[in-house]
Amino acid sequence: MKFQDLKKRLDKNRPMTTITMRMPEDVIEDLKRIAPLLGFSGYQPLMRTYIGQGLRKDLKRLENDSLNTLIESLKRHGVSEEIIKMSLEEVE
C-alpha cells in the first residue's frame, strides 16, 4: 500500500457512507457479544475492522500478483535478475 493511501486510511474523519446489509441474527448477536471484549464500542466498528483486514489482505495479494507478473514479463524480455533486484530495492 502506498504511503498516501495509508495516510488517508488512518484519518479518523474520512467520509463515511451508510449501507444496508442482510446478516444472520446469530452473527450479529455474536458480534455484539465479543465487540466489548475486544475493546470496540459496538459491533459496527468491529465489523468495519474485520472487513478492513480482509480487504487489506486481498489488496496486498493482488498487488503482489501484479508485481510478480511484471517481474516475469521483464525476465522474458531479457531484463537481468540483478537489474530487477536493484529496481525493487529502490521502490521499497
Cβ proximity of 74 and 85 under 8 Å: no
Q: What is the pLDDT of residues 30-76, one digit of tens each?
A: 999 999 999 999 999 999 999 999 998 998 888 888 888 888 889 89
3-state secondary structure of 24: coil
Distances (CA, A) of 69 to 18, 64, 76: 37, 8, 11
Question: Would you say residue 20 has pLDDT above 80?
Answer: yes
pLDDT band with cut points at 50, 70 and 90 for residue 7:
low
